Amino acid sequence: MDKSALLVIDVQNVMFDESNPIYEGEQLLRNLQDLINNARTANVPVFYVQHNDEEFENGTTSWEIHSSITPNDGEVVIQKHTPDSFHETELQDKLEERQIQNLVIAGNQTEYCIDTTSRRAFSLGYNVTLVKDAHTTWDSDTLCAKQIINHHNEVLGNAFATLKETKEIQFL
Q: What is the pLDDT of residues 55-89, one digit of tens each?
A: 888 898 889 999 999 999 999 999 999 999 999 99
Supply the pLDDT for residue 55.
83
CA-to-CA distance for 1 and 34, rounded, in angstroms?
Answer: 16
- Cross-strand partners of 5: 103
Model confidence, pTM:
0.96
